[in-house]
Structure 1
Amino acid sequence: MQQGVEIIDWRYFEKARAELGPGFIRILGYFREDGATAVANIKAAMHAQDPVKLIIPSHTLKGESRQFGAEPLADVAEKIEMTARQAVEEGRYPDELVPDVVKLEQLFGQTVAAFDERISPLKRRDRPTFGQKAANTVFGRSG
């Protein structure tokens, strides 16, 4: 992914958040679980050289990604789906999809991380990293 290219269209993300209301976090959790399963199934299908088994998980991931505004992820999933469908019709293995499957896995991880950052105020706070002294070491004590 090129730097500066937004991987989430936050308008669609916020629209889904408004439409789903209190169920939003639960549904987003399903996206995380289903998406991880879809990526694993796509990778397994590639290792098994089975283009038929690429179609359903890539189709599912495409639709769920678009619901939350993850267009680059949806685009890669769609390319995998369409290429797999064509390969099935032609009776061949779509080995040209290997780089796309790698990209899909990376984008899925980046997408989930972006969602987490957006929904969790705790993730936005600066936390001391290992080896750094905490800023307030005298809390509740005098000088």
Structure 2
Amino acid sequence: MSFEGSTLVDWAAFAHARSELGAGFVRILGYFREDGVKSVAAIEQAMRDSSAAAMVIPAHTLKGEARQFGAEPLARLAETIENVARDCVEIHDTPEQALEHIVQLRGLFEQTLTLLEREASPLVNRRQPGMSAGFGRRVA
């Protein structure tokens, strides 16, 4: 699953989260990183262990946290994994049908996190449209 940077994050939702969370935004994004790394690892381990039940909570956690930051493709992928896992638990089956989604998960998480952290960095140039690009530089 390959996405362009502009489609990995709903920037309006990201801006809304940044506004709502205020000064705690960067700290909470750090929690998303920590929780996300743990969730992805737990989902992968659950797949190796053929344990659908062990996939449900980390997939659910990742889904919710991704949505909070506007990372909708990541949230949808985590939701798909969660739903497959819940169905497998319900019918007492192993989660092989989740494999194709889990294979995509780590890469999508890492791409998304890179974009979120880059945008959250205080060093990112946040020039407003129509503002000068600086002395001697033309606005593109």
TM range (shorter): 0.7 to 0.9
CA contact (8 A) 1:116 1:123 kept: no
CA RMSD of aligned residues (A): 1.5
Unaligned runs of 5+ in 1: 125-143
TM-score by length of 2: 0.83
- Tell whether 2:113 aligns with 1:112: yes
Q: Report the counterpart of residue 88 of structure 1 in structure 2.
A: 89
Q: Report the counterpart of residue 132 of structure 1 in structure 2.
A: none
Q: Report the counterpart of residue 138 of structure 1 in structure 2.
A: none
Q: Which runs of 4+ in 1 moved over 3 A?
A: 1-5, 121-124
Q: What is the SS of the residue equivalent to 2:7?
A: coil
Which amino acid counterpart does residue 38 of structure 1 have in structure 2?
S
Q: What is the SS of the residue equivalent to 1:101?
A: helix
Once residues 11 and 55 of structure 1 are traced to their aligned partners in structure 2, the CA distance between those partners, rounded to angstroms, is 29
- The Cα shift of 1:68 comes to 0.3
Q: Report the counterpart of residue 46 of structure 2 in structure 1.
A: 45
- Identical pairs, percent: 49
Residue correspondence of structure 1 range 16-95 to structure 2 within 5 A? 16-95=17-96
- The Cα shift of 1:120 comes to 2.2
- The Cα shift of 1:119 comes to 1.9
Q: Report the counterpart of residue 136 of structure 1 in structure 2.
A: none
Deviations 1:35-57 (A, max 9, x none): 00000000010001100000000
Which amino acid counterpart does residue 103 of structure 2 have in structure 1?
V
TM-score by length of 1: 0.82
Q: 1:106 to 1:3 in 2, by over 3 A?
A: closer
- The Cα shift of 1:98 comes to 1.0
- The Cα shift of 1:71 comes to 0.3
Q: Report the counterpart of residue 131 of structure 1 in structure 2.
A: none
Structure of higher CA gyration radius? 1
Which amino acid counterpart does residue 27 of structure 2 have in structure 1?
R
Deviations 1:51-86 (A, max 9, x none): 000000000100000000000000000000011110
Once residues 23 and 3 of structure 2 are traced to their aligned partners in structure 1, the CA distance between those partners, rounded to angstroms, is 33
Once residues 82 and 18 of structure 1 are traced to their aligned partners in structure 2, the CA distance between those partners, rounded to angstroms, is 31
- The Cα shift of 1:3 comes to 4.8
Which amino acid counterpart does residue 61 of structure 1 have in structure 2?
L
Equivalenced residue count is: 124
Once residues 74 and 124 of structure 2 are traced to their aligned partners in structure 1, the CA distance between those partners, rounded to angstroms, is 23
